[in-house]
Chains A and B, each alone.
Chain A
Amino acid sequence: MSKNGPLALSFHALVVVFMLAPLVVVCLVAFTPENTLTLPTSGFSLRWFRAVFERADFIDAFYNSLILAVVAATLATLIAVPAALAITRYHFPGRNFLNALFLSPIIIPHLVLGVAMLRLFALMGVNGSFVWLMLAHVVVITPYVLRLVIAAAIGIDRSAEQAAESLGASRFTLFRQITLPMILPGVAGGWLLAFINSFDEVTLSIFVTSPATQTLPVRMYVYATESIDPMMAAVSALVIALTAATMILLDRVYGLDRVLVGKN
């Protein structure tokens, strides 16, 4: 039963339309048979999707983004899990500082991070290199993994760990057999959230990519500032589909509502 009046529901309908309109329009225009950006009124066509797959620059940029996001999310998880365990399990001077430091990339504008890394990479002579682009992404996405793993590590029952420890399990066995399975939803959810954020990142990447290491969002940004045609709508529709698939996966392993609004 809804407690909302008709006025409230109309307002709600407008907000939903506002939030979804640009995305729905992109997906519809992607199927246009015309040469211009119009809704497909005379029938659906896949020509612009074919056009995307004939563009080597977009295909390369897609693979760059995919490899980048997979490797960066994995590295971020590998450093965030031990850091999250350190922050939740041990009391040591500087613990709060480390926590704030590791979460700070969320508050610092990506633009500032982008120009800062550009300066460092230029001085080192490595600007545009894929490895350093990836490490830059790791810094930006680590906070997302850290937050989810900390939330998972705080919530677990420590008695199983204590039992295993008193039975003589080594620290590694303890982590692999007891702790990791218990925090696994947080780890997997964190990885997926990090993956999405790395795959979508544009503001930092635009400063530290070269034509050879251009990511898909950067390629799309540059393309959209130069020309606008229905191919851009087809690329966008593919990105929306990939993001939606990742979100469904995220919902299965961790719960989308928990990621978005932190509900337990």
Chain B
Amino acid sequence: MSRGYLLSAPALALFVALLIVPLGLTLVLSFNLFDYEVGVKSDSYTLANYASLLSDSYFYEIFWRTFWISALVTLLCVVIGVPEAYILSRMGTPWRSIFLILILTPLLISVVVRAFGWSLLLGADGLINQAIAALGGRPLKMLYTPFAVILALVHVMLPFMIIPVWTSLQKLDPAAEQAAQSLGASQAKVMRMVVLPQIMPGVLSGTLIVFGLAASSFAIPGLLGGRRLKMVATVVYDQYLSELNWPMGATIAVALLLANLLIMLSWNRLVEGRYKKALGE
């Protein structure tokens, strides 16, 4: 028994020192007073940062924009990722593994590279606008708009939706689909009654991962949103590195973490309740 502690001691020491302590310090920092002349006053505590977070319309706008963009990205990932995972699962070898790897490996390529790729395509004189001009059309403003941020976020998040749906599709017994078909069920009915209930847990866990990652994404809005289209993560960056108002930055970061955890937990509970009811438990 003590050997278990001994073996995990090095990891535990590191995680206490560099995870629990810094998160605790940041929570404390969010209650500290900030003065533009002297900086952080670590001996005086205040709720003013949280008050301005809740009352300032600038922060309200940022949180609302982050929320709707993340929700839309999640929805698009469901609409694209679920059918794509299903199509992949119905492919024969070797195409199935080839396309699975082609679609999932962008996951391992730096997000800065992927953001840069989208800015090449969407820029004012980017490749899409060059193509439009060649066809005689008028150029579109795409870069530095919500459209660019949403498109690139869907690109980055889609693998996180396909993976859990694919995993739950692997557990689906093909005989169940065949049985339903041989009993005269239409393709739509097979999807609705056999396939969808089976993959719902995968879709829901994908939804959670995608929403959480989109809401806290930094590099995509930073590079494709420009100076005006801010999301929560880029505002935190500004507070820390341009405004140098660390307590306010810490407050927004804590709020982001709490909002994320709250949405994940309540979504999880809502869905679990539904799911259990549907299974008659």
Contact call A23/B7, Cβ cutoff below 8 A: no
Complex contact A200–B103 (CB within 8 A): no
Q: Which of B22, B103, B105 contacts A15 (CB 8 A)?
A: B103
The residues of A that contact B11 with a CB separation of less than 8 Å are 79-80, 82-83, 98, 102, 142
A residues less than 8 Å from B87 (CB atoms): 4, 8-9, 11-12
**A232 lies within 8 A of B116 (CB):** yes
Other-chain residue from B26, B102, B241, B246 in contact with A19 (beta carbon distance below 8 A): B102
| Assembled-state Cα–Cα distance A211/B39 (Å) | 23
CA distance A191 to B83 in the complex (A): 33
Does A217 interact with chain B (Cβ within 8 Å)?
yes
Q: Is A73 an interface residue (CB 8 A)?
A: no
* Contact across chains for A19 and B106 when beta carbons are under 8 A apart: yes
Assess whether B206 is interfacial by the CB under 8 Å rule.
no
User: Within 8 Å CB of B19, what residues of A?
Assistant: 101, 104-105, 113, 116, 139
0/1 interface trace, chain A 107-142, chain B, CB 8 Å (1 if under)? 111111101111110010000000000011011001
Asked whether A22 lies within 8 Å of B256 as measured between CB atoms, the reply is no
Choose one: B125, B167, B213, B260; the contact of A261 (CB below 8 Å): B167
Chain A nearest CB from B234 CB (Å) reads 9
- CB-defined contacts of A80 to chain B, threshold 8 Å: 11
**Chain A residue, CB-CB nearest to B177:** A3
A-contacting 9-mer, from B56-64, B107-115, B193-201, B271-279: B107-115
Whether B114 lies near A79 (C-beta < 8 A) is no
Q: Is the CB of B246 within 8 A of A236?
A: no
| Chain B residues, Cβ within 8 Å of A104 | 19
The residue in chain A whose Cβ has the minimal distance to the Cβ of B12 is A98
Q: Tell me if B's interface is mostly helix, strand, loop or mixed.
A: helix
B14 touches A139 (CB 8 A): yes
- Which residues 57-114 of A have a CB within 8 angstroms of B? 78-80, 82-83, 85-87, 89-92, 95, 98, 101-102, 104-105, 107-113
Contact B103 A16 (CB under 8 A): yes
For the A-B complex, the count of residue pairs with Cβ-Cβ distances under 8 Å equals: 258
- Min CB gap B162→A, angstroms: 9
In contact, B103 and A19 (Cβ under 8 angstroms): yes
Residue of B nearest to A116 (CB): B22
Partner of B120, one of A9, A25, A247: A25
In whole Å, how far is B91's beta carbon from the nearest beta carbon of chain A? 6
Q: Which of A26, A110, A239 is the most central at the interface, judged by chain B CB atoms within 10 Å of its CB?
A: A26
Contact yes or no, A82 B15, CB < 8 A: no
Query: Whole-angstrom distance between the alpha carbons of A230 and B167 in the complex?
Result: 39
A25 with B127, Cβ < 8 A, contacts A115-B236, A120-B25, A243-B108 known: yes
Contacts of A199 in B (CB 8 A): 110
State whether B92 touches A119 (Cβ < 8 A). Answer: no
Given contacts A25-B121, A29-B120, A109-B233, contact A92 B240 (CB under 8 A): no
A82→B223 contact, CB < 8 A: no
Docked CA distance A240–B6 (Å): 40
Q: Mark B238-259, 1 if CB is under 8 A from A, else 0.
A: 0011000010011001101100
Q: Kindly state whether residue B136 has any CB partner on chain A within 8 Å.
A: no
Residues of B62-118 contacting chain A, CB below 8 A: 80, 83-84, 87-88, 90-92, 95, 97, 99-118
State in angstroms the CA–CA spacing of A82 and B25 once bound together. Answer: 29
A171 and chain B: residue at smallest CB distance: B3
Tell me the minimal C-beta distance from A213 to chain B in angstroms: 16
By beta carbon, the residue of chain B nearest A20 is B102
Chain B residues near A1: list those with CB within 8 A: 92
Residue in B120, B223, B236 whose beta carbon sits within 8 Å of that of A26 in the complex: B120
Q: How far is the CB of B117 from chain A (nearest CB, A)?
A: 3
Please give me the 9 A-B residue pairs with the lowest Cβ-Cβ distance, nearest first: A22-B117, A90-B4, A109-B216, A116-B22, A86-B7, A82-B7, A92-B4, A120-B22, A83-B11
Known: A11-B87, A90-B7. 13 other contacts (CB 8 A): A4-B87, A4-B90, A23-B106, A91-B4, A111-B256, A116-B19, A118-B240, A135-B14, A200-B111, A236-B112, A236-B116, A236-B117, A260-B107
Binding site for A on B (CB under 8 A): 1-8, 10-12, 14-15, 18-19, 21-23, 25-26, 29, 80, 83-84, 87-88, 90-92, 95, 97, 99-121, 123, 125-127, 130, 152, 155, 158-159, 163, 166-167, 170, 212-213, 216, 218-219, 222-223, 233, 236-237, 240-241, 246, 249-250, 253-254, 256-257, 260
